[in-house]
Structure 1
Amino acid sequence: MSAVVTQITDGSAISHPSYFLQSSFFPGDNELFFTSYRDGSAQLYASGPPVRQLSFGPVGIHPFSPALHPNGGELCFVRAGGIYSLNYTTLALREITRRDGASIGECSISADGNWLVAAAKIDGQNGILCGRWDGTGWNFFPYPRTLIHPQFHPLEPEWIEFSGDPAPRMHRIRRDGTGLECLYEHGNDEFVVHETFLGQTGDIVFTVWPYSLRRLNWQTREITTICDYNCWHIAPNRAGTKVLFDTNHPDTGIQIVDVSTGLRTPVCESGASNGGSQWKSSRYALTEDFAAARSAAKSGGALSWMESGTDTVYGPQWTHPHPSWSHGETKIAFASDRTGLTQVYTAEIRH
C-alpha cells in the first residue's frame, strides 16, 4: 500500500468528511468540505488553505448531512428540522424546507440538481421527505419501518432507492410517492448493507456483510457477485467500473475492486478504529443487541447510528473511514482516528 496519504485536518476536535455516498471534494479536487466540532458543535468547514468555517450558530448541523449541488457552488445541510442551501462563496444561507420537531437525515440531490430527498421522522412516523431544490413541491411519504439513505437514480431522477431497517433492506419509490416496492426479499440473517447506485450503470451495488460485494440489475432484479470479500463502506466511480471500499474484521485497508474481474488493488491503510459491536456479526442488530449496547453505554436514550458512545451497535460513525472519490477520481477522502481523534485524510490514487 504505497499511496501518498495527506492529513488535512488536525487539532483537538473531531473532524470528518461527509458520508461515503457522495464526494466531499469541491470541483478541481484541491479543496474539500468537512464537518468539525472545533466550534463546540458540528459545523461545516472548507479545507482551504486556510481552513474556512462555512456554517455558524449555536445549533449544530447533522454531521453527515452536507452534500454538494451539481452546480459546484452550493451546499445543502440539515439543522434542527430544516434543510438549508449555503452559497460557498458568499455564505448566503437559504432555508429550503422546514418541518418543526422533525428528525431529518442526510441529504441526496438528483443528478439534474432539481430535486432533494432525505429520510425523516415526523410526528413519530418514519418516511421520505422530498421536494424541489427551489423550496417548492415538498411532500412527506410515510413508511412503516426505520428508513435511511434515500438516493436518486443517476439516470432516472423520478426514482428513489432507499434502505429499510432491518430486513428486507432495498426498496424503491417514485419521487411522487407512488410505485413503492421491495427490490430484494431477504431475512435478518442476511446482512445487506451500504447499497448505492453503481455509477452511471443505474444498477445497485451492495454488501452482504461480511461475505461479498454484489450487484442488482435495476431492470431484471438479477443479482450477481462481484467478489467474495469483506467490502464494508462502498463507493463506486462514475462509470460503475470500479468500487472503492474500506474493510473491517479483519481490517485490510482501503481498496478498489474492478467490477468486471473482481480483482482488488490496495490503496492505503486507514488506521481507523472501526467502532460498532454489530460488525463482528453477520446479521442485523435485534432488540437485545441494542439493549446490551445501551446498558454498556449507561444510556437511557434510544441508540442510533450517530450516537457517540465508545461501543455502540453500529458506530460511532466517525470511527469508520467512509472513503469517497474526488471528482477527477485521482484522490480519495477518508476519516481516521489513527492519532486518537478522528481527522480528515486524502490519498492519491496511483493508476
Structure 2
Amino acid sequence: MAKGTTYNHERIEFVDARTGVRLMQVTSFPTMSMALPYHGRNFTGDSKTFIFISQREARRDAPWDLFRVDTDGTNLTQLTECEGAAGFVMSPQDDCAYFHRQGVLWRVDINTFREEEILAPHGVASMSAGAISPDGAHYFAQVVTAHDTSGIVRIRTDGSEASLIAEGERGSLALHSVSPGGAGLLVWQMRQGKKTWILLDDNGNARGVYTGSYDFAHCTFLGRSERVQGCALPPDRALVHIGLGEEQPTTIAQGVYFWHSASTLDGEWIVSDTNWPDEGLQLVHVPTGRYRPLCYPRSSQGHPQWTHPHPQFSPDGRMVLFNSDRTGICQIYLAFIPDDLRERVRTGQLSVQERRVW
C-alpha cells in the first residue's frame, strides 16, 4: 500500500438474510479495516465520503493508515503512510482530515494527500483521543502532560495557539466527544471518588453537570443538542437520555441490551448494536421509543474493539456505518435504511415478517 494510491473498489453488495435491508461490505482486502469512533466526525457533510483506518500488514503490531472512500464503494484511497498517527477526524470543511503524531497536530488534504504540520502543544507528553469543533476552528485532544497529569488541549487549526483548558490527576479526567451542534465538550471527571459527567465550553469552563450518580455503558450527544443519550449498564436493558442538572436519565426504549449507540444529527433516530445476546443493530425512533432490527452484523463481539459493530449514521441519516469480523477479519460495512422501514418504525406498523424477526 502507498500513500496517495487509489485502489480498485472492494465492495460486496448483498441483502441481510433476516431483515431484507441492503448492505455493502466496503472493504474486503485481507488486512483489518475499522471505522473511526462513532462519536466523532468521520463523514463529509454531503454523506458521500467517509474516512477509516486500515492495517498496513497482517500482523498484530502493524501500523494503521488513514483511508477515504465514497459511500458507493469507489475512490478507495490511502491518505497516510506513517507510524504512530491517531486521533483522526474529518474537517467540517470536508477538505482534510486532522490527526496527531508524536505530540504534533497534522492535517492531510483528502484530495491532494499533502500533509502539513500544524502545531506541537507545549508541555504535552502524549496525546490520545481527538475531536474537532463544529466550525473546524479548534482541535481538542486528550493528553498526558509533562507533569504526568491528565488534561485536555485545545489547538487552533490555523496553528496560532494551543492551550491546556482542563487538567486533573492522572486518570481522573477524560475527553469523550465534542457536540456537533456547538454545545461544548462532553467530559467525565472523578469527583470525590465518583465518575461525574460534565459539559465544558470550548475554553474549558464548566457549563453544568449531567450526573454524578449514574453511569452509562456507552454514550454520546443526542444529535446537535446538549443532551446526552446512551446505553444503560447491566442488568438494565435500556436506552436513556439526560440533560444538564437532571442527575437521573429518562428512558427512551427498553427490552434488548443496547450496547453502543449513536444518533442522527436531528436527534430523531438512534442506532445501537446489541449484546448478551446479539439481537442485531436496532433502529430506534426517539420520540416514540419504537425500534426494530435494521440488520445483523454477525460480529464476534469479543474484547477487541474491532469485534464491536460501533454503528454510526451518515450526516443525512440514510446510512449506517459499522464494523464486523463476520469474515474472520474486521471489515467495514454500510446499511442503507429504506424510507418505508423508517416510517413503519415511526408508526409501529410492522409487517408480519418484521414481527416474526422481532
TM-score normalised by length of structure 1: 0.79
Please tell me the residue identity of whatever aligns with 2:133.
S
Q: For residues 123-173 of structure 1, give each alpha carbon's deviation from its aligned partner in whole angstroms, at most 9, with x where no partner exists.
A: 32111111322123311221233444433334445x321134795141222
Alignment correspondent of 1:239: 266
Alignment correspondent of 2:225: 201
- Change beyond 3 A, Cα 1:29–1:178: closer
Alignment correspondent of 1:88: 110
Paired residues of 2:31 and 2:55 also in contact (CA < 8 A): yes
Alignment correspondent of 1:43: 65
Paired residues of 1:128 and 1:143 also in contact (CA < 8 A): no
Alignment correspondent of 2:242: 216
Please tell me the residue identity of whatever aligns with 2:319.
K
Shift of 1:185: 1.3
Please tell me the residue identity of whatever aligns with 1:208.
A
Paired residues of 1:192 and 1:206 also in contact (CA < 8 A): yes
Tell me the SS of whatever aligns to 2:224.
helix
Shift of 1:201: 2.9
Please tell me the residue identity of whatever aligns with 1:90.
T
Q: For residues 175-206 of structure 1, give each alpha carbon's deviation from its aligned partner in whole angstroms, at most 9, with x where no partner exists.
A: 323337642112xxx65232211112321112
In 2, Cα distance between the equivalents of 1:271 and 1:170? 32
Paired residues of 2:269 and 2:284 also in contact (CA < 8 A): yes
Residue 150 (structure 1) aligned to one of 170, 176, 196: 176
Alignment correspondent of 2:130: 107
- Change beyond 3 A, Cα 1:245–1:23: farther
Paired residues of 2:124 and 2:143 also in contact (CA < 8 A): no
Alignment correspondent of 1:162: 187
Shift of 1:345: 0.8
Task: Show structure 2 runs of 5+ residues with no match.
Answer: 1-18, 340-358
Which is higher, the Rg of structure 1 or of structure 2?
Answer: 2
Please tell me the residue identity of whatever aligns with 1:32.
F
Alignment correspondent of 1:260: 287
Does residue 323 of structure 1 match 2:311?
Answer: yes
Alignment correspondent of 2:216: 192
Greater per-residue strand proportion: 2
Task: Show structure 1 runs of 5+ residues with no match.
Answer: 277-315
Please tell me the residue identity of whatever aligns with 2:51.
F
Does residue 52 of structure 1 match 2:77?
Answer: yes
Paired residues of 1:118 and 1:150 also in contact (CA < 8 A): no
In 2, Cα distance between the equivalents of 1:339 and 1:319? 11
Alignment correspondent of 1:175: 202
TM-score normalised by length of structure 2: 0.78
Shift of 1:254: 0.7
Identity %: 27
- Change beyond 3 A, Cα 1:265–1:97: farther
Q: For residues 252-278 of structure 1, give each alpha carbon's deviation from its aligned partner in whole angstroms, at most 9, with x where no partner exists.
A: 1111111111111211111111122xx
In 2, Cα distance between the equivalents of 1:241 and 1:134? 34
Alignment correspondent of 1:136: 160
Tell me the SS of whatever aligns to 1:318.
helix
- Change beyond 3 A, Cα 1:340–1:164: farther
In 2, Cα distance between the equivalents of 1:106 and 1:255? 27
Aligned length: 305
Alignment correspondent of 2:299: 272
Shift of 1:119: 1.2
- Change beyond 3 A, Cα 1:219–1:70: farther
Alignment correspondent of 1:284: none
Tell me the SS of whatever aligns to 2:271.
strand
- Change beyond 3 A, Cα 1:10–1:120: same
Paired residues of 2:152 and 2:175 also in contact (CA < 8 A): no
- Change beyond 3 A, Cα 1:42–1:265: same
Alignment correspondent of 1:283: none
Paired residues of 1:24 and 1:333 also in contact (CA < 8 A): no
Shift of 1:102: 2.8
Paired residues of 2:52 and 2:68 also in contact (CA < 8 A): yes
Please tell me the residue identity of whatever aligns with 1:116.
Y
Tell me the SS of whatever aligns to 1:66.
strand
Please tell me the residue identity of whatever aligns with 1:227.
A
Shift of 1:251: 0.8
Paired residues of 1:323 and 1:332 also in contact (CA < 8 A): yes
Alignment correspondent of 1:15: 33
Does residue 226 of structure 1 match 2:252?
Answer: yes
Does residue 6 of structure 1 match 2:31?
Answer: no
- Change beyond 3 A, Cα 1:95–1:194: farther
Alignment correspondent of 2:337: 349
In 2, Cα distance between the equivalents of 1:95 and 1:256? 40
Paired residues of 2:259 and 2:273 also in contact (CA < 8 A): yes
In 2, Cα distance between the equivalents of 1:54 and 1:27? 19
- Change beyond 3 A, Cα 1:3–1:167: farther
In 1, Cα distance between the equivalents of 2:173 and 2:297? 29
In 2, Cα distance between the equivalents of 1:231 and 1:29? 25
